[in-house]
Amino acid sequence: MAPAAMSLINREVKQLEPGSVYPAQESRADEEPPLASSPAENFGVKLKAIRRELREEYLQPHTKPWIIGFSGGKDSTLLAHLTVECLLSIPPDERKRRVYLVCNDTLVESPVFQEFVNHLLAYISENLESLRIPVEVVRTSPRIEESFWVNMLGKGYPAPNRTFRWCTDRMKIRPTSKFIREQVSHYGEAVLLLGVRRAESAARAANIAKHSAKAEGRLTPHADHKGCWIFTPIKDLTTDEVWIALLKSRHPWGGSYKELIQLYKDAASGECPFVLSKTDAPSCGTSSARFGCWTCTVVEKDNAIQSLIASGHEHLEPLALFRNRLKQFSEDPQFRSKVRRNGQPGLGPLTYEARRTLLEELLAIQAQVGMQLISEVEVRLIREQWLQDRAEETMRSMEKLSEMVENQTKENA
């Protein structure tokens, strides 16, 4: 967590009413918000506006379902929190719109953070039933044939880098996009709620501004998914305000945010965002510390996992070292084929020897740390891919030999 956030929390949180995330002063929904005279009051005005927007948008006379992009990090957690609060404030007979809380697991997420997310989603699912609101938790993940390990250790793809970021599309965009397309197909249209904020970065602010110019009311048409609309309720909150909101809130599904806050402290981190478009991909794998894939080689150094190790998660050290091995093998020409997968000359996939070595090391690390890092199905698919690649390689060699013999015969004729 940023020092500025903690400083603001200590200074301003005393001004907030206990058990609330905004000052005690109330105003009617149809009144113009009063001018704020302090950061705490400004924060309260923003949250009241967000709550009002959520309620008004939910009660619109159409049946488009809401899909909340949930990563488990602070922004998407606050968005889910405010959405559930919104539903609870609406009479039961008016809670007609379906809401899906969608979380994507790339299958190579940071083990510590993914364990937290899995526990949180199970807890939310269990407790939402008693609240009698139309919210469903949905988990997406890449097709096993497109997993990180099947692509890298099976097909020999080099570790992702800034110019060849093959992982984002296969592991993040495709799984969630499939779910969105299914909802659009069923309902005709859908609304995607994202916890993006202008204050995240200059690039994020510019992207929000670009999409806002095309907005129809509060909703912006998705650039890649026809029939999908984007709603960004918390876009004007600062990072400090997000943290204060979480610290001063009670889970609508029970519990507290202490574990989430501790994780951020341990990792000095942010979460990798919910990605649905290749134009969003650069925010995955930035130089800042982030929770995300422990195998990520797009960043030069994984600051988050190093901070977690320093904070007492020593069992992650073998993973950090293996991540460096993936990068090393991919960048060293001696571990790369001299023929591309299409049969053309050039720096190609990882050699069979390199793939076999890395798989053996990964399985040894998995046994050492006692966590599943790769599934048995992936191991089987990897070995099947090796056999397929060798068969195709043999066929190409035979075709070249046949062509050489044919040419030689013509010369001798």
Instruction: Please name which of 187, 166, 201 lies closest in space to residue 75, comparing C-alpha atoms.
Output: 201
DSSP string over 137-166: EEEE---GGGSHHIIIIIS-PPPP-SS--H
The reported pLDDT for the residue numbered 54 is: 98
Give the pLDDT band of residue 284 (cuts 50, 70, 90).
low
φ/ψ of 75, rounded to 5, equals: -70, -50
Whether pTM exceeds 0.85: no
Count of beta carbons in the 10 Å neighbourhood of residue 123: 14
Q: Note whether 228 and 194 are within 8 A (CB).
A: no
Percentage of the chain beyond pLDDT 90 is: 62
d(CA 391, CA 224): 38
d(CA 385, CA 31): 64
d(CA 136, CA 354): 43
The reported pLDDT for the residue numbered 214 is: 76
114-128, 137-151, 268-282, 370-384: which has the minimum mean pLDDT?
Answer: 268-282
CATH of domain 3-287: 3.40.50.620
Q: Where are the domains of the chain?
A: 3-287, 378-413
Q: CA 253, 255, 261 angle in degrees (round to 5)?
A: 115
92-106, 201-215, 370-384: which has the minimum mean pLDDT?
Answer: 201-215
Whether 311 has a pLDDT exceeding 80, the answer reads yes
State mean pLDDT over 122-133.
90
Percentage of the chain beyond pLDDT 70 is: 85
* Assigned token pair, 172: 């993040």
Q: Note whether 161 and 297 are within 8 A (CB).
A: yes
Give the pLDDT band of residue 212 (cuts 50, 70, 90).
confident
Whether 51 has a pLDDT exceeding 80, the answer reads yes
Mean confidence (pLDDT) of the chain: 85
The reported pLDDT for the residue numbered 9 is: 40
Gyration radius from the chain CA atoms = 25
Whether 281 has a pLDDT exceeding 80, the answer reads no
Give the pLDDT band of residue 20 (cuts 50, 70, 90).
very low
51-55, 77-81, 180-184, 398-402: which has the minimum mean pLDDT?
Answer: 398-402
12-21, 49-58, 79-88, 397-406: which has the minimum mean pLDDT?
Answer: 12-21
82-96, 132-146, 206-220: which has the minimum mean pLDDT?
Answer: 206-220
State mean pLDDT over 22-45.
56
Give the pLDDT band of residue 339 (cuts 50, 70, 90).
confident
Q: Note whether 378 and 149 are within 8 A (CB).
A: yes
Whether 287 has a pLDDT exceeding 90, the answer reads no
> What length does the chain have?
413
The reported pLDDT for the residue numbered 18 is: 37
The reported pLDDT for the residue numbered 217 is: 84
φ/ψ of 186, rounded to 5, equals: -80, -45
Give the pLDDT band of residue 10 (cuts 50, 70, 90).
very low
CA atoms within 13 A on the CB side of 212: 13
Give the pLDDT band of residue 147 (cuts 50, 70, 90).
very high
145-149, 181-185, 310-314: which has the minimum mean pLDDT?
Answer: 310-314
State mean pLDDT over 269-297.
62
